[in-house]
A and B are shown apart, each in its own frame.
Chain A
Amino acid sequence: MIGITSYGAYIPWHRMDRQLYQKAWGGFAMPGERAVSYYDEDSVTMAVEAAMDCLRDVDPHRVDGLYFATTTSPYKEKQCSALMGMALDLRRDIRSADIASSLRGGTTAVSFAVDAIKAGKANSILVTAADTRMAAPSGMMEQALGDSAAALLLGNENVIAEIQESYSISDELAATWRSDTDTFVRSWEDRMVMDESYSKVMPEAINGLMSKCGLTPKDFTKVVFDPPGDVRRHGRVAGELGFEAAQLLDPASLFMSVGLLGCAMSLMMLISALEQAKRGDKILFAGYGNGADAFLLEVTDAIEKIGERRAFAKNLQSKHMIRSYNDYLRWRDIVPLETARRPDRGHISVAANWRERKTILGLWGIKCRRCGTPQYDSGAISTTPIRVCAVCQAQDDFDDYSFARKKATVFSYTQDMLSPAVDPPSSVVMIEFEGGGRSLFDLTDREPEDVKVGMEVEMTFRKVFADRGISNYFWKARPIRC
């Protein structure tokens, strides 16, 4: 049996009431709110978060592949999934691939993973999809889009939802696009896009799947497919296909709470469906974008045994409303701003970062074999890698020790107003890890006034800054999200 063995998701903590767009620009505010990635987040960091949620209680060394689907990769040239593999502690002998530039990338990645497992080339493949698409300021599209990530683990053991069949359509139309130099999404007239593409392609894929499986609309417990730019069209297409409203996972609720999530949209909707699924449920799942991929899923007994996930429901509840549209402009680097009167950061050394990739990207420290003390050193003058134990001075007698999933407690903190921060103050904490080890970290996703000695935190993978096109990723602490 091949199918989904685990799921996970990530929705940024920060949400924006769409009224703020109207306050900034006048005109019309769409209802609801959207998810806004923080200044230290991008598609890679969000995908790592979703994958960590998905791999909770899963041995990462048993994962044979990682596919990362996004239309908002930080790189045109350089693989992100290899970098994510370091953060997630995956093996080296895996297949890793970035599936870029397609809004259907999430479902495409799922079909690639299923095919590889079916062919006996892999037993378990992790699929992540994340997007932080931006539309030009003041337009409707800017209000509609949202930032999030989803992850599915596909495999042939402990399957919670079997993928029994799939069917795909390929369709050429420049419906929405970004050229290699565009920052913001462009699109053709929406009625033409919906009439000639979405309203034809999605039924073509879904009908194709149903006819391949010999199923009719009433055979499905849940029907999950993503909407076009205008969410209302989803319901019309579903009705025309013969589905009842009760069968649908309604994208309107996602639109109202997080926005249109790019290539993470269909997967996020599926995760939301899986959170409520019961064994025996038949799920129709499809993703749209220059064609469509449709899948038939059947939920198994194992769904009841899956451990706790933040996934969609808990991430959705844990939120913080941003105060002004200007914050959004600043965090997404949309307008040029006065730079802090502080020294520039030095250049990134690819060599130094590569040498310390396990420490930096994986948050690996050491545990001394002599005295048993876990230690992590984020590096000061010359302290990384750790060669000599800080407690007993044993040399090179250590086991690797992972801090990425360790909870910690704030030992001391400051709110630094002098430090050049995108969202001042710079909240810096010295934290004590459960099980031992102490280190200094930036604290993100926080309300400065809530930070206290003794506060519980967890680690989160973030982008520190970019230099000459290289994104420098590292871990930060954040108050335990939920």
Chain B
Amino acid sequence: MPGSIKDRVAIVGMGCTRFGELWDKGPSDLIVDAVTEACADAGVEIKDIEAAWSGSIFSGHGGRSISEPLRMQYVPITHVVNACASGHDAVRNASYSVAAGIYDIVLAVGFEKLKDEGMSGLPAMDNRTHTHAVATMPGMFAMMATKYFHRYGLSPEEGKTMLAKISVKSHANGSLNPKAHLRNLLTIERVLNAPIIAWPLGLFDCCGVSDGGAAAIITRADKAKEFRKDPVYIKALQVCTSPTSGRITSDYDYTHVEEGYRAGVAAYKEAGITDPRREISMAEVHDCFSITEAVTMEDLQFSPRGKVKDDIDAGNFELSGDLPVQPDGGLKCFGHPIGASGIRMLYELYLQLQGRADKRQLKDPKLGLAHNMGHEPFAPTVSVCIVGL
């Protein structure tokens, strides 16, 4: 029987940079700005941090990636590379070290500097023999939309309209967030008329490619109130890594993400949640593309299989709905500096739980869920974190 992280550690300080095309900021700026805000929020100094975990996939190489800019003095630092789940996995490892009783104050920081490439999209991710089919990440997720539409009998227009509503909702939320990359409002018509990136996904089905950093100070639950009156406790930290067989064998349907479902089930069990749709107050999920958010609603058991359209049409995931999703704008609008995204999600849940989310503030949230998904839908690594007061 595996142990549980529930209520053993707490987040007592968080920081997050503005996300966006931050031409004048380097990785050092993103790290220092995020960590400085987190330390100030927790009321600690960098010299108080006993150990640290950093997460990024393109911008970091080893623990020195953060010790250098922060001039951290001879403490152990581990760099985590786990696709888009890198940020959550940094938090997971940092939390486990505290729960194990090794350290009292640790730092998890995620960052990514993507906009030094001179091009849209992500840097190269080629395989060793360069024989991969040449689809981009939008292409890999577009195939999930193709298959979802096909399986549930949605015409391209119906399917794309369903997805457009997701993006319209996230832009509405992002417009209320001063740290978000994309703050413009959208209409369904504009989403539908946008240029195609990878059929059937258009420009506004894709998240922002952004620079950014986010950080969390984590401590023992029994010491948390020494730092602040409203610490946020970790209820579940799960990672599910794909055996990468969905690309090879025929049992994967390409209309769900098995690892997302399993990470959700494990996290609900760890947190003692039996009815996620009612018990979870809000969710920040990995909406790299609109279709990913749609399928994730089903994977996390918020909507029945094949029925997410009903919840989307009813507005249930909007800020005013019964289960607000992406209250901060999500990857779609807050942006997606890969290593930072998982911790950015926790930052929003943390602010919401503490009542500090300003115009986006939800009424009395109790439990928040953050979900990250790395790699392609047929072979992902998915993390689910649940936090609450």
Which residues from chain A sit less than 8 Å from chain B, CB to CB? 341-346, 348-349, 352-353, 356, 360, 373, 375-381, 383-384, 390-391, 411-421, 425-426, 428-430, 432, 436-442, 448, 453, 464-465, 467, 472, 474
Q: Mark B128-141, 1 if CB is under 8 A from A, else 0.
A: 11111111101110
Give the CA-CA distance A348 to B129 in the complex, in Å: 6
Q: Which of B63-118 contact A (CB under 8 A)?
A: 117-118
Once A341-B118, A439-B247, A453-B150 are accepted as A-B contacts, the answer to whether A379 and B132 lie under 8 Å apart by CB is yes
Chain A residues with Cβ below 8 Å from B121 are 342, 418
- Shortest CB-to-CB span from A468 to chain B, Å, is 12
Chain A residues with Cβ below 8 Å from B184 are none
A411 lies within 8 A of B254 (CB): yes
Among A383, A417, A436, the residue within 8 A (CB) of B244 is A383
A417 lies within 8 A of B198 (CB): yes
Once A415-B198, A418-B139 are accepted as A-B contacts, the answer to whether A390 and B248 lie under 8 Å apart by CB is yes
List the A residue with the shortest CB-CB distance to B128.
Answer: A352
A375 lies within 8 A of B248 (CB): yes
Q: Mark B144-163, 1 if CB is under 8 A from A, else 0.
A: 10110010000000000000
A440 lies within 8 A of B250 (CB): no
Once A345-B130, A353-B129 are accepted as A-B contacts, the answer to whether A416 and B138 lie under 8 Å apart by CB is yes
A415 lies within 8 A of B249 (CB): no
B132 lies within 8 A of A378 (CB): yes
Does B274 reach chain A (CB closer than 8 Å)? no
A412 lies within 8 A of B144 (CB): yes
Once A343-B119, A414-B146 are accepted as A-B contacts, the answer to whether A426 and B127 lie under 8 Å apart by CB is no
Give the CA-CA distance A441 to B146 in the complex, in Å: 16
- Shortest CB-to-CB span from B313 to chain A, Å, is 25
List the B residue with the shortest CB-CB distance to A340.
Answer: B119
Chain A residues with Cβ below 8 Å from B244 are 380-381, 383, 390
List the A residue with the shortest CB-CB distance to B138.
Answer: A418
Does B126 reach chain A (CB closer than 8 Å)? yes
List the B residue with the shortest CB-CB distance to A377.
Answer: B248
Does B304 reach chain A (CB closer than 8 Å)? no
Give the CA-CA distance A233 to B159 in the complex, in Å: 61
Chain A residues with Cβ below 8 Å from B117 are 343
B129 lies within 8 A of A349 (CB): yes
Chain A residues with Cβ below 8 Å from B134 are 416, 419-421, 426, 428, 442
- Shortest CB-to-CB span from A431 to chain B, Å, is 10
- Shortest CB-to-CB span from A250 to chain B, Å, is 43
B249 lies within 8 A of A349 (CB): no
Give the CA-CA distance A474 to B117 in the complex, in Å: 28
Give the CA-CA distance A425 to B135 in the complex, in Å: 10
B132 lies within 8 A of A390 (CB): no
B130 lies within 8 A of A472 (CB): yes
Chain A residues with Cβ below 8 Å from B195 are 417
- Shortest CB-to-CB span from A402 to chain B, Å, is 16
Chain A residues with Cβ below 8 Å from B247 are 377, 380, 430, 438-440
- Shortest CB-to-CB span from B350 to chain A, Å, is 33
- The DSSP consensus for interface residues of chain B is loop
Among A343, A414, A419: residue with most chain B CB under 10 A: A414
- Shortest CB-to-CB span from A314 to chain B, Å, is 28
A390 lies within 8 A of B139 (CB): no
- Shortest CB-to-CB span from B6 to chain A, Å, is 32
Give the CA-CA distance A411 to B249 in the complex, in Å: 12
B124 lies within 8 A of A416 (CB): no
Does B196 reach chain A (CB closer than 8 Å)? yes
A439 lies within 8 A of B143 (CB): no
Chain B residues with Cβ below 8 Å from A346 are 124, 126, 130
Among A345, A414, A426, A474, the residue within 8 A (CB) of B143 is A414
5 closest A-B pairs by beta carbon, nearest first, are A343-B124, A416-B139, A390-B245, A414-B142, A428-B135
- Shortest CB-to-CB span from A234 to chain B, Å, is 43
Among B118, B136, B195: residue with most chain A CB under 10 A: B136
B131 lies within 8 A of A416 (CB): no
Give the CA-CA distance A376 to B118 in the complex, in Å: 35
- 5 A-B pairs besides A344-B124, A384-B129, A418-B139 with CB distance below 8 A are A343-B123, A343-B124, A353-B129, A412-B146, A428-B143
Once A380-B244, A413-B143, A438-B249 are accepted as A-B contacts, the answer to whether A345 and B124 lie under 8 Å apart by CB is yes
- Shortest CB-to-CB span from B267 to chain A, Å, is 25
B248 lies within 8 A of A428 (CB): no
Give the CA-CA distance A415 to B121 in the complex, in Å: 16
Does B2 reach chain A (CB closer than 8 Å)? no
Once A341-B120, A345-B124, A380-B379 are accepted as A-B contacts, the answer to whether A391 and B245 lie under 8 Å apart by CB is yes
A375 lies within 8 A of B144 (CB): no
Give the CA-CA distance A16 to B2 in the complex, in Å: 66
Chain B residues with Cβ below 8 Å from A352 are 128-129
Does B197 reach chain A (CB closer than 8 Å)? yes
A419 lies within 8 A of B143 (CB): no
Chain B residues with Cβ below 8 Å from A414 are 135, 138-140, 142-143, 146, 198-201
- Shortest CB-to-CB span from A357 to chain B, Å, is 10
A436 lies within 8 A of B197 (CB): no
Give the CA-CA distance A442 to B143 in the complex, in Å: 13
B129 lies within 8 A of A415 (CB): no
Once A346-B130, A352-B129, A383-B244 are accepted as A-B contacts, the answer to whether A416 and B250 lie under 8 Å apart by CB is no
A465 lies within 8 A of B130 (CB): yes
Among A412, A421, A464: residue with most chain B CB under 10 A: A412
B131 lies within 8 A of A360 (CB): yes
Q: Which of B238-254 contact A (CB under 8 A)?
A: 243-245, 247-250, 254
B147 lies within 8 A of A380 (CB): no
Chain B residues with Cβ below 8 Å from A412 are 143-144, 146-147, 150, 254
Chain A residues with Cβ below 8 Å from B132 are 378-380, 440
* Chain A to chain B contacts (Cβ below 8 Å), 17 pairs: A345-B124, A346-B126, A349-B129, A356-B129, A379-B131, A380-B247, A380-B379, A390-B248, A391-B249, A412-B150, A414-B201, A419-B134, A420-B134, A426-B135, A428-B139, A430-B254, A437-B250
B133 lies within 8 A of A378 (CB): yes
Once A373-B249, A418-B139, A419-B139 are accepted as A-B contacts, the answer to whether A390 and B243 lie under 8 Å apart by CB is yes
A418 lies within 8 A of B130 (CB): no
Chain B residues with Cβ below 8 Å from A416 are 134-136, 138-139, 142, 197-199
Chain A residues with Cβ below 8 Å from B200 are 414
Once A416-B139, A437-B248 are accepted as A-B contacts, the answer to whether A453 and B146 lie under 8 Å apart by CB is yes
List the A residue with the shortest CB-CB distance to B123.
Answer: A343
Once A413-B143, A418-B138, A440-B247 are accepted as A-B contacts, the answer to whether A379 and B133 lie under 8 Å apart by CB is no
Give the CA-CA distance A10 to B379 in the complex, in Å: 37
List the A residue with the shortest CB-CB distance to B120.
Answer: A341
List the B residue with the shortest CB-CB distance to A354.
Answer: B129
Chain A residues with Cβ below 8 Å from B140 are 414
Give the CA-CA distance A445 to B178 in the complex, in Å: 48
Give the CA-CA distance A360 to B144 in the complex, in Å: 26
Chain B residues with Cβ below 8 Å from A348 are 129-130
A438 lies within 8 A of B250 (CB): yes
A440 lies within 8 A of B128 (CB): no
Chain A residues with Cβ below 8 Å from B144 are 412
- Shortest CB-to-CB span from A478 to chain B, Å, is 13
Chain A residues with Cβ below 8 Å from B379 are 380
Chain B residues with Cβ below 8 Å from A383 are 244
Give the CA-CA distance A440 to B144 in the complex, in Å: 13
Give the CA-CA distance A346 to B117 in the complex, in Å: 15
Chain B residues with Cβ below 8 Å from A465 are 130
Give the CA-CA distance A380 to B132 in the complex, in Å: 7
List the B residue with the shortest CB-CB distance to A440.
Answer: B133
A379 lies within 8 A of B127 (CB): yes
Chain B residues with Cβ below 8 Å from A417 are 195-199
Chain A residues with Cβ below 8 Å from B196 are 415, 417
Chain A residues with Cβ below 8 Å from B197 are 416-418
